[in-house]
Every structure is written in structure tokens, then in C-alpha cells.
Chain A
Amino acid sequence: MTIRARAPIFAAGLALLGSGCERVVDLDLEPGPVRLVIEGGVRRPIGGTDSTQTIRLTTTDQLTSDRPPPPVRGALVEVSDEQGHTWRFAEGEPGIYRAAFWPVVGERYLLRIEVDGERYEGSDVVGAVPPIDSLYFEFEESNIAVGDEGFRAAIDYTDPAGVENYYLWEQLIDGESSLTPDPGNRFRVIGDDSFIDGARITAYQPYDEAIVEPGQTVVVRQVALSERSYRWLFALFEQSGDGQGSIFSVPPASVRGNVANLTNPEHYPLGYFLAAQVAEASATLAP
């Protein structure tokens, strides 16, 4: 649940008023430099048994290119903590780098990447997250805000009192991510506790447009964010999907993450190195 910065929902809800009609146009745009894109980081699951850590490296591509994101192969990827441990990530599928270890909540982890003669570094602290108290399904009638009738996954959790908390919710339905390009993600898929500090939140649907069919299994992950990573995702979501079409949208800009290019600062990378504790719950909707 997020209330902060919910003003634009108001605009989004009424985008129907301001969006008018649309048409796909051809533009001849000057392509920019190819940049490294970092996705993933280190995660500490609550009660999980899998210690695999995954970092995905791809690059930017021409705007109208229809190929999948180009993977970055043969990079040196290392994560170290402040106690002197270093973990080398090995490349599996092209661009996917893995290592196995248990990060510790409250510790800072440093990412180091070397590729094409350039060195990149970024760091993040593993934030704490409360557990998901329960995951269940709620039936919604068809309505303007969320679409067709059907079941939605809902969670209960208790926000820890007296500390600032920021959240990201990931949801998989039969293994497939429920995340779709929608500027509204910034009000549901991520959240903070500005006005609900210490409250027990019930029946929260981070993906209130994702319909769950009987027999499907849903996994919801509650991921700890920091103020910085929350704001980074907020800006990213704000510009994704139809986020730029409305008169109530903000002027678009590059969304800069937490990894820097130390060799050539101008050739900055995109994406984010995220360290987080993660709570997970799963449930199957009875057929």
C-alpha cells in the first residue's frame, strides 16, 4: 500500500479524459550509446532453502529493434561484503551470472563488474522485511478500475512500527510474472509506510488487475526496498507503459541507478543492484 505520491493516480484514473486518441507514428531518432544494464542483486529469503544469487547483465538496444535484450557475456562479476568475503558469479545462460551464499540482513554488499575494459561498481545494504502473514484469494466483480471479474491474490502483513519501510511486491502466477507495463505500478507494486506505520494491512492486492484462474499457483514475494531503491523503481514505473502520454505525466528523463562506471563515468550503466531480505508465500486457488 502506498499513499505517498498517489496524486497522479487521480490523473491516471482520469487519463481517459485527457488522453484523447492515439496513433503510432514513425520517428527517425538518433540512437544513443550502448549501455550496460544491471538487474538483480543479492537476496536473503526468510525461511528459504535456496541460496542462489542471480545478476543479469544486458545492454540497451536501438529503440525499434525487435530482438530480445542483448546479453552481456564473459563479464567478471563479483560481490563482496565488508568482512573481506568475495563471491565470484559464474555465467550460466548468456548474460545470467550466479553464485550461492547467504547475505546477512543489515550488511552492505559491493558489486564489481568488469566488461569491455571498463569497471563498474555499486553497493546496497540488505534491508529487513516483515513476513507475509497470509496469502489468499478474493473474488472481484467487474469494475472500471481493475477490469474483468475474477479472483485476485491478496496478502496480509504487519508493518514494523517506528522504522521507515519500503516494499516491492513480486507476483508469479504458475511461474509467470504478473508485472505488466503500467505507470500505475508505482502505486501498487511498490509502497511505503508513510501513513500506515506499524499498521496491520489486510487484503492488499499488489496486482489487482491480474486474474487468477482456479488451479493456478500464485507466489508473492515481499521485498525490502530502501528509500533510494523505492524512488528508483517509482521513477522507472512512472515512465513505463503509457506513462508518458498524458498531460499529467512528468517530463521523461533517464532513470539513474546505483551502479557507476569508474573507468568512464560518461558511459554510465542503467538498472540497479538490489540487496534485500525477501518474504515469500505461495497458494493454489482451489479448482
Chain B
Amino acid sequence: MVRLAVITVDSLGIRVESNQDGFYALVLPAGAHELRVRAVGYTPLTTPIRIGEATTLDLLLTPKPLELEEVTVAGRAENTPDIDPASPEMSVTRLDLETIKVTPVVLGEADPIRSLTLLPGVSAVSDFSTGISVRGGGTDQNLILLDESTIYNPAHVFGFFSVFNAEAIDHVELYKGAIPARYGGRLSSVLDIRQREGNASEFEGSGTIGLLASRATFEGPLPGKVGSFLVAGRRTYADLFLKLSSDPDLNKSVAYFYDLNAKTNVRLGQTGALMLSGYFGRDRFKIADRFSASWGNEAATLRWNQGVGNRLFSKVTLTYSDYDYGIGFLGSGPAIDWSSRIRNLDVNVDQTFYLDNRNTIEAGLQATDLDLRPASIRPIGDSPVVPTDLQPRFGLATAAHLSHEVDFGPVSLRYGVRLSGFRRRGAATVARYADDAPIVYNATLGRYERGVVVDSVRYGPGETIVSYQALEPRVSARLSLGESKSLKASFSRTRQYLQLVSNTNSPTPVDIWEPVGTYLTPQRADQVAVGYAGTFGRDRYEITVEAYYKRLRDVADFIDGADLALNDRLETETVQGTGRGVGLELYLRKRSGRLSGWVSYTLSRAEQRFTGLDDADPGINGGAYYPAPYDRTHDLSVVAVYRKSPTWTIGSTFLLASGLPTTYPESRYDYGGLLIVEYGDRNTSRLPLYHRLDVTATRTWGGKQLQFGLYNLYNRFNAQSIAFRSVESQPTAAEAVQTSIFGIVPSVSFSFRF
């Protein structure tokens, strides 16, 4: 099937798009017409059609011969641009596999999430991490979906790689605003990642050998050509080198990760399809006999699409997602095994009615059952540790959504509403605090303290502890300014019922998620955006300009010195404040020619504020707005791909960005012989300017591809952090130490098809 294909009947000025599942509906008067079909990665098709009565027409598009030498941004020359000027959709970014593969990345491991950070409004939280901040938001404000199944922790190697194997991914869509009503649950963005479908006509395989990992995929038609399948795997092999070490600690150590992606599609008649997809990935680490860690995601999706009659497209999706980690501490002291798990089961029914060529109505229902086990502690061997479990968290997230898209020609409008709810359920024991205050401000000592527990309330299994509902309106509109140019505007309100419990600079695999409850209330965001989208020069150039303003309320933050790990009463460490963000995003892309690529620039500000628990509490930074942790004033990315010859392609990216906010000390003192630095207000300084140039050179010949890469070509010492410690030769004096993650990093990888 072909998603997002544009079908036009030029004589009548009718234009419809096929949906995510390739389904389309077209209302035409009886008689003869000519259909024109265009789609990403396919040769345009023009076909005559004769209408007598309602007809179901399968359009077979021929894939454009996508040979490896076409692995360039230019490979999409005649395609619809990212921001389709004819659609009311805005603040959405699409990345296809070919683009992801050609942008240089560290160690040559193509990563869809790292590629996204080259686009406007998206920034990496660290060179080390694949955590992203969208329009200044937190890393846990992004809903990450893999074939519609939620991925709770998309990290391999402590965040260094994302779990998305580029070979198994078809495309990535990121909604930064104007989020369609069918999505919800996170404040800042929706990252909708779809696994690739197997080749439905012939068997095909490919492999990649890289410095860090090797990958293989195999795909082909199902027997009887009823559908297709795809299986892809990836595994790192750094641990094989550890085994060669003569150091007894190192050669007993373990460090690897793997991914397995699988997807199969079966056609059900002319307008139905069944899809089953799965993802399994795991990291394992073991350092000598002292420490071991393992974590992984499992996600599965079963989806049934069915066209009913000629106007209704129905979709039922069942997803399952599971994230768990386990850590073993052996060293000195009692040996413990610590594990945690989050699991959800989700049912999603989505109906799209194509009323006529101008009106589409989409409605749906969604229910997600959440089961979180924050921690389970067990002794190892004869350790005296008492087996202990933190309270499980149970919840049911529900949503109903309805939206209407109407096209008046020069103006189109999509408006809708999402009714979201979250019900926190037992079994659970909820502590009650004096004055209903789980956290109190000690004005004399100028610090937050835990509230005093007066008693507790026991809730039975399934009993409602608390429930929240909200209406989330979503509106977007488009006004055409002639052919292929338009103005857009949107408003969206989002609610978040789950937050990541993490106060480190970057998310870690051992962070847990905490649902809203008696004390922690849902986080809320409103966003308005206006923009311009246009294509020029026979669609060779594409420009988008967007400006947005966001207001966030009840955004959770942790107090200084919060004790988050293995804490059953997180409400004693959490405060909720407000936030705001404003930004201007510019994006210019050239899609074809020997030189292609894009320039992306973002000017933005993201701030937060906590004004205090009561009158005596001045709040954070005296209750004033201060820069959010991932606020970047300027962020520029330039991506250029030059097709030097049919065999050689040069890709390069250049990044220039303001440093992230940081807190610098104002003095130092001595306690117990330790040098301690004293800090003033939060986030009042910035790290130095960030810039970097990466280059890749790719040689392709006869189904083979050899890629050389140089990350951070001029070896810029970019600051990850600036910390303070005592000078070794003079322990009473402090020095500032700048840490950088990567110097210049070369890479090489080899791919082949079979």
C-alpha cells in the first residue's frame, strides 16, 4: 500500500490523499475521468476511470527504481514536500529512511532520532544522548510510537543510540504542534515511527557491517502473495573485543545490545489488511563480578484495516508494550537485585468517513491499561537484604476523539477535540499528610522538607483513587496563496498524565514513569502557531516558516537534592510550576539536483517558573521565570548532499547552537576536608557556543555501498558540561573542568544486498 499518495482529478479540481494505510475515497460524477496519482518514492501514474456506480479501484503504483546510488535527498525530487502547502497540517516533519541514512552520524550508526535534531524546533539534549527536546520541552514530553505501540525508553547504551534500527524503519513523523486529535498523552510532540513493510513481490536481503554493529534484513512475499514480511536484526560486538583482553576484569565483562524487528502484512480482500509487527531489543552490561545491568523494550502491534462500503475506513489496533530493567550489585556490602517494569495494553478504534471530496470526519476511541512496577528488591545469594517491592501503580488512560477536515478550495480547516481521561486505580495505599501538604517549605532554613504523614488510605484492587478528564481542542487552518503557497495557523491543547522520574541532565535507562495521582496532577500545555509553507522552482525548493507560542501549566519539577530512586512517595520531592515558550523556525530545503539538502534555523526561548508553595516560599530563583534546561536561543543546522558522480556522494552537516543553560558557582567552602562549591540561582549562565562539522563519503556500486564518515571534523571541544572540583596539587582551590563527549570520530561501514 502507498500512504499519503495524492490523487487528483484535474478536470474537476478534486484532490484527495490516501491515508496512513493507503486507503482513499473519491466522489466523482458518473462518466469518464482521468486520475493523477503522485506519491513519495513512486513513479507518478495517470489512469482513465469510468464511473457508473460506486467502484473500488486499486491503484497499482510502480516503485521508482530506488537503487543505492539514488540514496540521496534528491531521490524524492517529484514528491510531495514535507510541509504540503495544500494541507491544513502544520508543525509536522517527515523523515524518510533515505534521508536518515545520508546524514552523517557518530560512529556511522544511522539513527532516526539523531537525524531529527537537524530539523527546526528539535534539539539534542546532549552529544551523548538520543533524548530530544521539541520546542524547548522536556525529554519525557514526547510520545514515541513504533507502529502505534508506545516506547517508554528508546535508549541503547545508556542513551547513546536509539532503539530504532534505520534498516527496519520506513519513515518518521514528528508533530511539534497542531497535533491531530487522534494522538495524545504528551505535552510537546508525537514521534510516530513506522516499521517498513517487506517487499511484496520478491525475496530480498541486505546486510551492513559497521564498526559498532552489524545489521541484516530479510524480506519477501508471503506464500500465495497474500502479503509480505520483513525481519531485521542488529547486534553490537564491542564485547567480543572485551573477551580478547588479558585483564581478568575486562574479559569477564559483558557489553552489548541487540534489536529484532519483524513485520508482516496480509491482505484481506480488496480493501482490508491485517498487520502484525513486533520489536524486541535488549542491552546487557556486566562489569567484572561487581555490577550487572540489563534493560529492554518489547512492543507488539496487531492492526486490522478495513474499508467498509466506499466511504468508511475502519481501523482497529491492539498494542502491547513492555519496558523493564534489572540491576545487580555485587561488590562490597549486601548483594541485591533490583528490577523495574512498565507494561501497557492498548486498544484503539479509529473510523474515518469520507463524506465527499471536501469533507472527512475522523472519530475514535482509545483505552490504555497501565501497570507500573517501580521497583522490586531481592537479595542475591545469602545477602541479608529483605525482599521489598515498591507499590505498583495501576491506571487506565482513555480518550475519545472527533475531528472534521473540510476543504473549501482556497481555505481548508481541520478542527476536532480529544476528550482524554486518566483513572488511577488500586490496589494502593496513599499517604495523607498534615495540612494536605506532601511537601512543605521550611522558611527558616530556606529549604523544602517532606510533609508529615498523618495516616493513609487503602484502596482495593481496581478501586478508583482519583480520576482526571480534560477536553483538548485541536484546530488547524490553511489559506492558499496561489499554487503551492499557503499560510497556516493552529491551536492545540495537550495533557500529560505520566511523567518520567528523572532529575539528571539526560534521561537514563533506570528512570521510571510516574502516573498522576492524589497529589501529582496532569501537566497541561496550550500552543498556538502560525506559519507559511511554499514550494518554488517547480517544487525544487521548499520553504517553511513557523512561529509558535506555548504556555505550560502544572509542569512537574523536582526539588534540589530530591531523592528519587526507590522512593514510594514521590509527591514529597515534586513541585509543579508553569512554563512558556516562544520560537521562530525557518526551514529551506532543496530537493533535487547534484547539490541538495537543507538549512534549518530556530530562534527560541523556553522558560519555567515556580512561585512557591505558600507566601513564605519565594520559589525557584525568587519566583521569576528562568531558562528551561533545554532552552537554546539559536540553533542552526546545515545539511548538504553532493552527488559528485554516479558512484560517489558526499554528505555533510554543520551545526551551530547556543550553549545550554547551566548554573555556575559563586563561592567554595570546606566541609570535612572536602571542597564544596556553593551555587547561586538556577540556570543563570550558559555553556559555550556549540558548533561541529561532520562529513561522510559514500561509494556505491552494484548493490554495494561503502561509507566513510568523520564526525566533528575539526575536532571542536564542545562543552557537555562545566563542573568544578578541587585542584589535585592544591586541594583547597577549585578549578573549572569542561567535559566534551566526542573529539573527531572516524567511521566506516559496508552494506550489501543479496
Binding site for B on A (CB under 8 A): 1, 3-11, 13-14, 17-27, 29-35, 37, 39, 58-69, 122, 143-146, 152, 154, 177, 179, 181, 188, 194-201, 203-205, 208, 227-228, 231-232, 234-236, 238-260, 265, 268, 270-271
Contacts and interface: CB of A to CB of B under 8 A. Distances in A.
B733 A64 contact: yes
A85 B629 CA distance: 50
Contact of A4 (B566, B676, B720): B566
Given A3-B377, A24-B738, A32-B665, 19 more contacts: A9-B291, A11-B508, A18-B741, A21-B717, A22-B739, A25-B722, A29-B666, A60-B668, A60-B678, A63-B677, A68-B732, A177-B673, A201-B384, A245-B721, A245-B737, A248-B158, A248-B505, A251-B683, A253-B663
A53 to B, nearest CB: 17
B710 to A, nearest CB: 17
A195 B333 CA distance: 12
A257 B445 contact: yes
A59 B676 CA distance: 12
A177 B670 CA distance: 14
A135 B128 CA distance: 43
Nearest to B388: A195
Contacts of A259: 445
Nearest to A258: B445
A24 B735 contact: yes
B617 to A, nearest CB: 13
Contacts of B671: 37, 39, 236, 270-271
Contact of B723 (A4, A122, A242, A271): A242
A241 B506 contact: no
A243 B674 contact: no
Give the residue among B290, B336, B674 with the most A Cβ atoms within 10 A: B674
Contact of A145 (B158, B290, B447): B290
Given A17-B157, A60-B668, A258-B445, A270 B682 contact: no
B107 interface: no
Contacts of A62: 667-668
User: Which 3 pairs across A and B sit closest by C-beta, in order of nearness?
Assistant: A32-B666, A244-B723, A199-B384
A254 B621 CA distance: 12
Interface string B436-456: 000000011111011000000
A10 B293 contact: yes
A177 B504 contact: no
Given A18-B158, A32-B680, A270-B678, A25 B669 contact: no
B611 interface: no
A204 B126 CA distance: 37
A3 B338 contact: yes
B655 interface: no
B672 A247 contact: no
21 contacts: A3-B334, A3-B377, A10-B291, A11-B158, A22-B737, A24-B738, A27-B722, A29-B666, A35-B667, A37-B670, A144-B250, A195-B377, A235-B560, A245-B737, A247-B159, A249-B505, A251-B629, A251-B683, A252-B663, A260-B446, A265-B446
A8 B508 CA distance: 9
Interface string B505-522: 110101000000000000
Nearest to A181: B674
A19 B508 CA distance: 14
Contacts of B733: 64-66
Contacts of B388: 194-195
A254 B333 contact: no
Contact of B666 (A30, A68, A232): A30
B561 interface: yes
Nearest to B732: A68
A145 B385 contact: no
A1 B334 contact: yes
A236 B743 CA distance: 32
Given A3-B338, A236-B671, A247-B126, A17 B678 contact: no
Contact of A254 (B293, B443, B680, B727): B680
Given A179-B674, A241-B725, A242-B725, A144 B249 contact: yes
B740 interface: yes
B561 A253 contact: yes
Contact of B732 (A6, A11, A27, A67): A67
B503 interface: yes
Interface stretch (B50-58, B166-174, B324-332, B423-431): B324-332
Give the residue among A8, A194, A208, A251 with the most B Cβ atoms within 10 A: A251
A63 B667 contact: yes
Residues of A contacting B: mostly: loop
Contacts of B338: 3, 6
B738 A196 contact: no
Given A247-B128, A260-B444, A1 B333 contact: yes
A278 to B, nearest CB: 14
Given A20-B740, A244-B723, A61 B667 contact: yes
A254 B732 contact: no
Contacts of A22: 737-740
Contact of A179 (B158, B672, B727): B672
Contacts of B503: 250-251
A21 B455 CA distance: 51
Interface of B: 126, 128-129, 157-160, 249-250, 285, 287-288, 290-291, 293, 327, 329, 331-334, 336, 338, 377, 384-386, 388, 443-447, 449-450, 503-506, 508, 510, 560-567, 629, 663-680, 682-683, 717, 720-727, 730, 732-743
Given A1-B334, A39-B672, A234-B563, A247 B506 contact: yes
Contacts of A35: 667, 669, 678
B109 to A, nearest CB: 15
A18 B128 contact: yes
Contacts of B159: 247
A238 B601 CA distance: 37
Given A24-B735, A69-B670, A248-B508, A3 B721 contact: no
Given A6-B565, A17-B157, A231-B561, A245 B446 contact: no
Give the residue among B445, B503, B566 with the most A Cβ atoms within 10 A: B445
B377 A63 contact: no
Contacts of A24: 735-738
Give the residue among A196, A238, A268 with the most B Cβ atoms within 10 A: A196
Contacts of A146: 331-332
A268 B742 CA distance: 40
Nearest to A244: B723
Contacts of B721: 244-247, 249
B560 A248 contact: no
Give the residue among B160, B560, B664 with the most A Cβ atoms within 10 A: B560
B290 A253 contact: no
Nearest to A14: B158
Nearest to B445: A260
Contacts of B736: 24-27
Given A66-B733, A143-B288, A245-B739, A254 B678 contact: yes
A256 B445 contact: yes
Contacts of B727: 66
Nearest to A68: B732
B290 A194 contact: no
Contacts of B668: 60-63, 65
B741 A8 contact: no
Contact of B717 (A3, A23, A69): A23
A115 to B, nearest CB: 15
A37 B724 contact: no
Nearest to B160: A17
Give the residue among B670, B679, B683 with the most A Cβ atoms within 10 A: B670
A179 to B, nearest CB: 6
A10 B287 CA distance: 10
A225 to B, nearest CB: 13
Contacts of A145: 287-288, 290-291, 331
Contacts of A258: 445
A135 B741 CA distance: 42
Give the residue among B327, B332, B629 with the most A Cβ atoms within 10 A: B332
